[in-house]
Amino acid sequence: MKILVTGSYNAGKSTMVQKICAGSAISVDYGGTTVALDHCRTQIYGVEIFLFGTPGLQRFEIIRKILSKGADGILFVVDSVNVASFEEAGDLLKEVYEILPGAPIILCANKQDIIGAKSPSEVAEVVLGKNKDKITVIGTSAKTGDKIERALGSIVLNAIKQYYDILLAVKNSENGELAEIAQNLRQPEEEVHALLQFASWRRLIKADWDNLKFRLTKGVLNITDILEFGHKQI
């Protein structure tokens, strides 16, 4: 799955990507400022994740748009110490909404390790405004790693929720055959075939296209158990 790490300038995006990938990320920067991207590959819940960190300066808008394409979820990073940057972060968030409408977002109120940092709720009040109750906010520290894994896990779970119905249909099929999965979903086979293609591209399922048989990957099988439990609780 592709996860976008974006936010305003100097919010800690590069540090976050490096922390998640234990310092192995590729960074294209100039004088410590990202001018192209930060990129690495990792895993969580057994799912392969490709992280793309964007530059935060306004003049790199075109690069952010290119990197954003096809993202399944967004970690939006805000500098909790620099109150003056909150308005800019809010404007940048609107840009993200336009590029990736409907994509799940986790707001990372970053730099919580620094004395004087605003609380996650205070950051959300200004940056999210009327959307503060619609987006999960997590207080993080990219420097120490505090709650970074929680933020990544949360956005991956939220991203996979978009595929919940098709994944559950595959899980509940006895033989993993297309006709059986379509019957579980009560949808035409052509539509289900397209959904299975999307899930396969994201490596959420293993597909035998010759025989039209499908099964969940091991990691996703665990995630569907988590999501299914959540649905039952609701």
SS3 110: strand
Burial 182-221 (b: 16+ CB within 10 A, else e): bebbebeeeebeebbeebeebebbbbeeeeebbbbbebbb
Average pLDDT of the chain is 86
* DSSP type of residue 187: S
Euclidean distance between CA atoms 43 and 24, whole angstroms: 13
For range 55-80, the mean pLDDT = 84
Which DSSP category does 79 fall into? E
**Is the pLDDT assigned to residue 231 strictly greater than 60?**
no
Tens digit of each residue's pLDDT (9 = 90 or more) over 205-215: 999 999 999 99
Cα 202 to Cα 47: distance, rounded to the nearest angstrom: 9
What DSSP character marks residue 48?
E
46 neighbors 222 (Cβ within 8 angstroms):
yes
Least trusted range by pLDDT, from 87-96, 140-149, 215-224: 215-224
Residue 234: the pLDDT is 35
pTM for the full predicted model: 0.85
Give every CB contact of residue 219 below 8 A, 6+ residues apart in sequence. 43, 45, 46, 47
- Tell me what pLDDT residue 233 has: 40
More confident residue, 230 or 57: 57
Structure tokens at 76: 């939006």
Q: What is the dihedral of CA 109, 115, 121, 123, to 10 degrees?
A: -50
pLDDT in tens, 148-176: 999 999 999 888 888 888 998 998 898 99
Dist CA 60 CA 41 (whole Å)? 23
CA-CA distance, 70 to 90, in Å (whole number)?
Answer: 22
Domains and CATH numbers, the chain: 2-161 (3.40.50.300), 164-233 (1.10.10.10)
Name the packing angle between helices 13-20 and 148-161 (round to 10°).
Answer: 90
* Cα angle 93-96-102, degrees, rounded to a multiple of 5: 110
pLDDT value of position 35: 52
Predicted pLDDT of residue 115: 95
Identify the CA nearest to 205 among candidates 194, 219, 187. Answer: 219
In sequence order, the β-bridge partners of residue 214 are: 207
Q: Within 10 Å of residue 230's Cβ, how many Cβ atoms?
A: 12
